Amino acid sequence: MKTGSRPVAAVARGISTPALMSMTAVAALAAVAVAALLVNISERKQEGKVTTARLVEVTQDTTDPAQWGVNWPRQYDAYKLTAQTTRTRFGGHGGSEALPQEKIDRDPWLKRMFLGYAFSIDYRDRRGHAYMLVDQENTQRQTKPQTGSCLHCHGSVIPLYRELGGGDVIKGFEATYKIPYKELSKKLHDMGHAQTVSCPDCHDASTMKLIVTRPAFLQGIERLANSGAATPFAPSIERWRAGGRATPYDPNTQATRNEMRTFVCAQCHIEYYCSSAMKLTAPWGKGTNVDQIEVFWNETKMPDGGRFFDYKQAETGAPILKAQHPEFELWSQGVHARSGVACADCHMPYARDGATKVSDHWVRSPLLNINRACQGCHRMSEKEIQARVDQIQQRNFDLMQRGGVAIDAMLDAIVQAKKDGASEQELAAALELQRKAQWRLDFIAAENSMGFHAPQEAARVLGEAIDYARQAELAALRRGAVPVVKAAQAQATASIVATVVAPAK
């Protein structure tokens, strides 16, 4: 499946952003400069206070990671390694170093689902953080006009937002969806902030404590706090609800350090709506599972009052919800989340460096690092841990492929019914069911852990996807004569939402 391999140097040569160039150039210098520096990093449990004799002053506007690297070389050195190729069975990327493999070629049903949308043109495997800006600039999806909102998760944008908002980051952010991508991207470059996710995106420059900076996340998590949804994965929200809600929920002051070890990643690894029609939105107003998000989107209206959708599937015209990398959302449904295991526990595990513990800033697949990522908690052999993950991922993969087969059959049936002259009304039920089926299959296909983050939940969602696809097929064959099934399903979904959503206190 995955072919080709070139050395890291070649990767770096292929990249043109100032971000990568400066990362490599200053690396050696920084390492030498700080050789004698004593970095005193407190232990894991001591509230993460980091006191360092600073050689260079950094602020929230210092987006150049090399500057921070002078003070914190260990983290910076590891951070730069995100430019390296990573490869596991389902993680990292296939294809060449120049370009990761197309997901839509590997799974033709994926491409078919996306017909009518830019994702059917170009949709590849993800890779390391060092590439996020260049990959966004170079995707063929840019052949369609894109919004400035795209930059929210692909660049170090906070100083840009601050300037656009006259000092107010949120105000600046809320102006960006109307600005075309190319215009905003040029401004980011001109201001000297064309960096991929950088130190000030996750750290307070004066204390080095973790912070969340992304406005769409801040607004989304506040929406979640205000909802009645149970949040066992975010205990500070439940405490805030019980505590009278005097001020709005703010993760930067109320979340625990452990929650922040997830929230910094949930600034980007989430489902969202992004277009020039409305501001970038994280859909957690009903909760974070697939059904709750679907209800949230169904209750959202486009600015013109029309029905909410991302695109119309070209073969059938069904108004589709496109799912995007819902890592945070799927994780939130799993046993690790319930047990307080954060993204950083697995993806940035501690490494001992002399007397200090350092969080591994080479953010990548934990399967490349099972010893530090898993064995601190799971006292079993590396081989056994790998085998358990393999089993989970293989089952998820197999079920997902069945989902693809069902989606193909559904689309064939609807297309045939249209050819045979079925009326819009006769196909209405089939198209509604298509929307539900595609939303669920895409949710798991777009999620990047191949089911690992919450295996049983992933299987439930895929099971529903297959069921809805087959119901849609039946509805097309029978030309809409399935009102009973439809009603039963609507009820089933309502009951799922009702059982998970506790009433607001």
Q: Which of 106, 111, 178, 257 binds ligand HEC (CB under 6 A)?
A: 257
Rg (CA), the chain: 23
353-389 per-residue burial string, b: 16 or more CB within 10 A, e: under 16: eeeeebbbbbbbbbbebbeebbeeeeeeeeeebeeeb
Q: Which of 90, 177, 240, 439 binds ligand HEC (CB under 6 A)?
A: 90
Distance (Å, whole) CA 345 – CA 161: 30
287 binds ligand HEC (CB under 6 A): no
Least distance CB 166 / ligand HEC (angstroms): 23
Comparing CB distances to ligand HEC, the nearer of 149 and 489 is 149
Q: Which of 11, 20, 30, 270 binds ligand HEC (CB under 6 A)?
A: 270
Judge contact between 464 and 457, C-beta under 8 A: no
Q: Which residue is nearest to ligand HEC (CB)?
A: 91
- Measured in whole angstroms, how far is the alpha carbon of residue 361 from the centre of its chain? 18
Interaction with ligand HEC in 440-499: which residues (CB under 6 A)? 446, 448-450, 452-453, 455
* Choices 30-38, 68-76, 167-175, 285-293 (CB under 6 A): range interacting with ligand HEC: 68-76
Least distance CB 209 / ligand HEC (angstroms): 7
Least distance CB 460 / ligand HEC (angstroms): 13
Judge contact between 228 and 501, C-beta under 8 A: yes
* Choices 305-313, 325-333, 409-417, 481-489 (CB under 6 A): range interacting with ligand HEC: 325-333
Distances (CA, A) of 11 to 16, 189, 205, 380: 10, 22, 30, 36
Question: Looking at the DSSP assignment, which residues form a beta bridge with residue 273?
Answer: 281
Interaction with ligand HEC in 150-169: which residues (CB under 6 A)? 150, 152-154
Q: Which of 98, 335, 380, 494 binds ligand HEC (CB under 6 A)?
A: 335
Interaction with ligand HEC in 213-242: which residues (CB under 6 A)? none
Question: Looking at the DSSP assignment, which residues form a beta bridge with residue 87?
Answer: 92
Least distance CB 482 / ligand HEC (angstroms): 34
Single-letter amino acid code for the residue at 490: A
Least distance CB 138 / ligand HEC (angstroms): 8
Least distance CB 258 / ligand HEC (angstroms): 8
SS (H, E, C) 327-358: HHHHHCCCHHHHCCCCHHHHHCCEEEECCEEE
Instruction: Tell the residue number behind the tokens 């029978």, with chain if given.
Output: 478
Q: Which of 248, 14, 251, 277 is nearest to 127 (CA)?
A: 14
- Return the structure tokens found at 335: 């046993």
Q: Which of 291, 345, 442, 467 binds ligand HEC (CB under 6 A)?
A: 345
SS3 content of the chain, % helix, strand, coil (to 5): 55, 5, 40
388 binds ligand HEC (CB under 6 A): yes
**CA torsion, ordered 260, 262, 264, 267, to nearest 10 deg:** -130
Least distance CB 129 / ligand HEC (angstroms): 5
69 binds ligand HEC (CB under 6 A): yes
268 binds ligand HEC (CB under 6 A): yes
Comparing CB distances to ligand HEC, the nearer of 276 and 493 is 276
Comparing CB distances to ligand HEC, the nearer of 356 and 493 is 356
- Return the structure tokens found at 174: 């809320």
Least distance CB 195 / ligand HEC (angstroms): 10
372 binds ligand HEC (CB under 6 A): no
Q: Which of 19, 113, 164, 367 binds ligand HEC (CB under 6 A)?
A: 367
Interaction with ligand HEC in 390-429: which residues (CB under 6 A)? 392
Comparing CB distances to ligand HEC, the nearer of 140 and 423 is 140
Binding track over 115-144 against ligand HEC, x by CB under 6 A: --------xx-xxxx-xx--xx--x-x---
Least distance CB 499 / ligand HEC (angstroms): 21
Number of chain residues interacting with ligand HEC (CB under 6 A): 94
In 128-198, alpha helices (H): 132-138, 158-164, 169-176, 181-190
Q: Which of 43, 45, 44, 33 is nearest to 72 (CA)?
A: 33
- Three-state DSSP class for residue 77: helix
343 binds ligand HEC (CB under 6 A): yes
Comparing CB distances to ligand HEC, the nearer of 127 and 418 is 127
The number of helix segments (H) and strand segments (E) in the chain equals 24, 6
